């Protein structure tokens, strides 16, 4: 499968762009574990053209994480075009447009999935971004604003006509946010529309290797994107890729192996930011990691783990979990 000049193996699996999650450290780790392409956190076009330092920091990419896409969002054609030019200077492999974020602070202002209320403007912005840069442009969106306005099948054709090189579809409406279940039916309909010729990437509720394979088989999508299932589990990409390639589940590692991956992620976060903010940044991953699920009477330890404010304190708690709960090495 190809996206512009990028070539991918059969069954490509991508890391979804997620705010406060897909920083450079996490992206590198997911690439190491087999993610075929990664995306930055989404970048505000308005903040970027105002040269807000915290926003511009999100444009930092590494040669080791390629292929990598920088994702931008906004609701003004001029701002989005100018922001895309700034992103181009960072030399990503793709520029991706976020028309999918359901967060109130984004969609409520008419950006992200809020664009699904104004599809004509959505198309105009996409055209402007495509024309503004020499890099290939892709975008990510949802089925529609709500259950009564699932417009993706017709909209996909209009977006394709702007010159984008790939389209990612999350199988929910904006109103659903992340509730209920992702509906891949319309994703498959877009993919199997004979008028569509760009790659279609499916996203939503891909939490196991088996589900990933099922989505490929049932819809024929060109790639699958994994989001929330990677929280605290960057190794999910190696598990998924192994199953897709062999049809067999990957043998589980020891508890200590998984714990060391998380500790490595914590250390990287602290080294990149600072101790206090690096640990705060990692709390979402620690809280969501599947390695702690099902441990009996784990609540007090979980609370202590998520309250730890220094690296020594956090690592002491993590190192004690194996012995405390008899999980072995």
Active site residues: 101
Q: If DSSP codes are grouped into helix, strand and coil, which group holds residue 210?
A: helix
Closest CA to 100 of 195, 36, 18: 18
Query: CB of 159 within 8 A of CB of 126?
Result: yes
Residue 277 structure tokens: 């903010």
Q: What is the largest CA-CA distance in the chain?
A: 59
C-alpha to C-alpha distance for 151 and 144, rounded to whole angstroms: 5
How many CA atoms does the CB half-sphere of 278 hold within 13 Å?
20
Q: Which residues of 129-139 are buried (b: 16+ CB within 10 A; e: fewer)?
A: bbebbebbbbb
Helix locations, the chain, DSSP H:
24-32, 45-49, 53-56, 77-89, 104-107, 119-132, 152-160, 185-191, 209-219, 236-246, 255-272, 275-288, 299-307, 311-324
CA 307 to chain centre: 26
C-alpha to C-alpha distance for 242 and 251, rounded to whole angstroms: 10
């Amino acid at each position: 499968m190809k996206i512009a000049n990028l070539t991918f193996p059969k069954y490509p699996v991508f890391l979804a762009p997620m705010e406060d999650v897909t920083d450079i450290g996490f992206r590198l780790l997911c690439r190491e574990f087999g993610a075929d392409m990664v995306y930055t956190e989404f970048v505000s076009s308005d903040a970027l053209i105002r040269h807000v330092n915290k926003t511009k920091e999100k444009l930092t990419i590494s040669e080791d994480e390629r292929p990598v896409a920088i994702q931008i969002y906004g609701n003004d054609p001029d701002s989005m075009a100018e922001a895309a030019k700034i992103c181009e200077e960072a030399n990503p492999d793709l520029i991706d447009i976020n028309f999918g974020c359901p967060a109130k602070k984004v969609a409520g202002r008419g950006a992200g999935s809020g664009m699904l209320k104004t599809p004509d403007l959505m198309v105009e912005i996409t055209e402007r971004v495509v024309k503004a840069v020499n890099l290939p442009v892709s975008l990510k969106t949802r089925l529609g604003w709500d259950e009564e306005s699932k417009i993706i099948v017709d909209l996909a054709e209009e977006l394709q006509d702007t010159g984008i090189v790939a389209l990612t579809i999350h199988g929910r409406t904006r109103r659903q946010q992340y509730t209920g279940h992702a509906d891949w039916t319309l994703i498959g309909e877009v993919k199997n529309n004979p008028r569509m010729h760009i790659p279609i990437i499916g996203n939503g509720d891909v939490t196991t290797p088996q589900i990933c394979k099922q989505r490929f088989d049932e819809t024929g999508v060109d790639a699958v994107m994994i989001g929330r299932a990677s929280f605290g589990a960057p190794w999910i990409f190696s598990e998924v890729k192994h199953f897709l390639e062999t049809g067999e589940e990957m043998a589980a590692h020891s508890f200590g192996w998984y714990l060391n991956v998380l500790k490595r992620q914590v250390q990287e976060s602290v080294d990149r930011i600072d101790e206090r903010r690096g640990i705060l940044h990692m709390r979402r991953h620690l809280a969501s990691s599947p390695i702690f699920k099902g441990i009996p009477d784990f609540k007090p330890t979980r609370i202590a783990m998520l309250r730890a404010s220094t690296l020594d304190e956090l690592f002491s708690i993590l190192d004690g979990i194996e012995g405390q709960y008899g999980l072995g090495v």
